[in-house]
Structures are given as structure tokens and as C-alpha cells.
Structure 1
Amino acid sequence: MKFFQSLIILLMFQLTLFVQGQVTFEPDSTFNYKMTKEGDLKMKVFKPSGHSISDKRPVIVFFFGGGWVGGHPRQFYQQARFFADNGYLAVSAEYRVRGKHKTTPFESVTDGKSAIRWLRAHADALGIDPNKIIASGGSAGGHVAACTGVIKGFDEVDEDLKISSIPNAMILFNPVIDTTEKGYGIAKVGKNRKTEISPSHHVVEGIPLILIFHGTADQTVPFENVERFTKLMNEVGNTCELVPFEGKGHGFFNGSYFRKRKTDEIFNKTMNLSLEFLKKHNFKVVE
């Protein structure tokens, strides 16, 4: 009997070590934020410790990458948990993509705008500040996030358009920022519509502040695109900061949870710089 008791204790100890070795990042709750004919769209929500609906916290919403074709919100679960651990409400949102919904990048942009509007409309119930909404994302998701703050129109017609779909700030990871021949995506948006949702072609005064992380060796979204966009933004008086990662390619920013890498050095750097950027521009968390 003592032998079997000892064996059970040993197995339980080994199981505990195994579980501890598998770092997971799971959302605290899930909301449906939009119903479409292609299916409901969800937000995966990560909450700070002790969060209450009486809080007025900044909120950051992430949009996954995947060329407007595929992808999954889990790409940004690690980033979302990081922000939640630092006092922000964090969300990783679904949006329509071609592979699952048979849609185009134009619907993706509309869904991004719907997500911002939904957060602002439900600010009181979520415990967030409707004037401190940060849109973020990588690659095509970075494009969706950028379009919420740069591109006019493409709002869902049956929503309350009196509620703004424009975020108060954007943090973009190797974003698609030019959908013409000079950038990425012309085959998906079409030559006749190549500038309609191309942020670099819609820069005007008054766009919310932006922080961009981009690899200089990106072969998917040329580094020149974000350099040019940053220059255009600053020339008209907007705030746009570009942080280059020398020699890094597309998707360099993903953390160990999503890419199963051995190190989170770059992940930690982008996260810490993001917090510094937001605090500098008064997106501080008030406990």
C-alpha cells in the first residue's frame, strides 16, 4: 500500500512539473461583438487583477495577422496578458477573413471599425475609458488596426455611427501600410481599388498617435513603406514613431507562446517600449 501511495505522489509531482512547464495564456472571458451573415465575431478578453466595471482603464485591442486570409486571435494572447498584467484591459479580436468567411480585406477593415465602436459603446459595462482605446495588430491585422485610425468610411451601416470607430492610439507590428504595387495586397484588394484602404495614401492632419515596430529585412511588407508613412505622418504634424529592428524579417515580434521560440527578448522589448510610449502620451493606468 505504501508503495502505491508513494507512486501516486511521485506521479502527481511529475504532472505538476509538466503543467508548470507549459506556459499558457487563456482569456478571462469572451464576448460576441458583431453578428454578420458569415458568422458571429468574438472578442477574447484579458482582465487585470481586481478589475471592476467601476474602473476607467485604457483598453488595447489586437488584430491577428494572416494576409486577410487566415489567422487566429491566439497570436496576441501573450501580448494581451502582458498588458492585462500591467493594468490595461486587453482584447484579442476576431474579424472576417477569406479562408473562413469568403470575404475581402474591405470587410476586415469594417470589422476592425466595429470592434472599436463596440468597445466605446460598452465602456461603462467593461470598466474602460472610452477616450483611451488603443488599436493594435500585426501584418494584415496591423493594417486593420491602422485603418481604424486612418481610413474614413467603411463603417457598418446598421451601427450607431454617432459613436466613433476611431481609436485614440495605435501600436502596429510590421503592418501592411501600402496596398499598391509598392507594398503588399494589391492582388487581394484589386488594382481598381488599390488605394482605398491603403493608409499611406490617406495621411492627413489629425490622425491619432502611432507607434510602429518593423524589421528592416522584411520581405513581405517592405521597410520602405513604414519609413515613408512615418515621414508623411510627421510632416503634417501627427505623432508617428518608428522603431526599426535591424536585419529582422516579417513576424519577428511574435512571442514564445505563439511561435514556440526559446527566447522572448524581442517580445519583451516591444512590450516595454509600448508601455513607455503609452505612458508618455498619457495612457497611464490609474489604480
Structure 2
Amino acid sequence: MYIPDEVIDKLLAEDVPYIDLTTWVLGIGLCRGEIAYFTREDAVLCGTEEVLRIMARLHLDVGLSLPSGSDIKAGEVFLRARGRAEDLHMAWKVCQNIFDHCSGIATKTRQMIQLAQEVNPRIAIVTTRKGFPGTKALSIKAVMVGGAFPHRLGLSETVLVFQQHLNFMGGLEGFIAALPKIKHHVCEKKLIVEANSVEDGIKLCRAGVDGLQFDKLSPEVLCAAVPQLKAINPQLVLLAAGGITEKNLAEYAQTGVDGLVTTSLYSAKPIDIGVKITALE
């Protein structure tokens, strides 16, 4: 995944705006040392490539590094580097934070995918645009490392029609009347529409939309609706969204929809990553 240099530099600058004052005051900056990152719990590792770029900027020599996507076990060292104490301490916390949070998202994503695919091997897990501002690049990478996919990276990417759009078009009926012209404009893209009821979904399906996103419909309602809609258009893409977490994921996966849209991955508990810095003689 492409993450610009300015993003990497900003991550480092947030923690080290000027100097590491403590290392400077102690007078240990030029001493040689080694830093080792290890995990205190089993996890899916994520963030290594960004950490390596930070370490390169700090002139640290990396001797061991496992790539993002690696399964790591409690107690396992997955990255080791050497250099000056001042550089090791500047790398310490910013890199630990990347590993903590990115690995947390990747691990939870892997767990949710496994949970969903146990009941529906063909189901997709996709994430919303509702992540914490300023963390999008790393969050999306972590989701993909865990095996899921971003539902929508931004407004310029896909056509996804909500009720907020329909309010300017005379409601659902006004939108359906304009649908042939709309589809002509986006002939190379799928046209997905949010439906708040099965009845609206049937109308939209018969009108020729490419997909429906149902918001906050119960698994029981979706179970009954999916066969009806697929009978009208077997190629119709069906998504379930709204409050989907690891607690109800399996129930939604059993409904027969093609994908589950969730925000919960972004709030994954960080992995407990440990760090040890030692002096070298």
C-alpha cells in the first residue's frame, strides 16, 4: 500500500518535534544500543514497512523484521535494530504505537473474517469511512492485512446513493424516474443504493440498480428478503450495514447477503507490544 513520505515524517514529528530532551540531558545520545520489539499476545502483525521507513530516517540498522501479515506468538521478537541511543529512543514509542494499533486492527479483522466465513465462506467483510480522522492510511492498510477490504475509500470512488441524496430528487420515486439517465452516466461503475426497507429494496431492484445496502435491518428480515431479491436479479449485490460487530456478525453472515459493512474494526483493542532497549559494549 502506498503511504507518502510526508505521512511517515508526520508520525515521527508528532513524537519528536525537535529533540529527545531526556536523552540529551542524560548525555547518552551517542552510546550504541539495540532495540527489540516483541508481542505479549498472539496477533497478526501490521505496520512493519512503515516502521522500517522511520528507522531508516533515524539511521538505525535493522537486523530482523517480520513483514505485515505475519502470525506472531506471545513472547516472539519480530523486529530488532541497532544504532545510537538518541535514535533508538526517538524510534521507540512512535514505532510501538504503529505496531500496537495496526496489529490490533489486523488481528480483529482476521478474527471477524474467520467468524463470518465459518457460516458463509463466500461472505465479504468491508469497512466504512468512519475511522478516526488522520489515521486513514494506516487503518486501511491494517484492515487489508487482516483480510478485509475498504467498502469505500472516498466520495470520488463509487456511486452510493443515500436517503440524503434522494431528498433532493423527489424521494425514491423521483430517483427511479431518473435512473436510466443516471446509469448512462456511470455505465462503467456499479450503482449502489441504500434501502431502509425490503419494500424499497424490491422497487429499486426492479428498477435496475446494481446493488442494495440495507441499513439496520434485522437478520431475520434479511433472511426472508435475500431470496426474493435474488429471484428478481441473481446478479444483484446485497450488503448489510448498521451496528454490525463481532457479537452479531455470524447472524448477519447467515442471511445470504454478499457483504457486511462495519465500522467496528477501527476500534479494535491495541495489541500489547513490548519493547526492550539495551546498551551495547
Instruction: With the length of structure 1 as denominator, give the TM-score of the two structures.
Output: 0.28
Which structure has the bigger radius of gyration? 2
- Higher percent of residues as helix: 2
Q: Which has the higher contact order (CA 8 A, sep 6+)?
A: 2
Task: Report the TM-score when normalising by structure 2.
Answer: 0.28
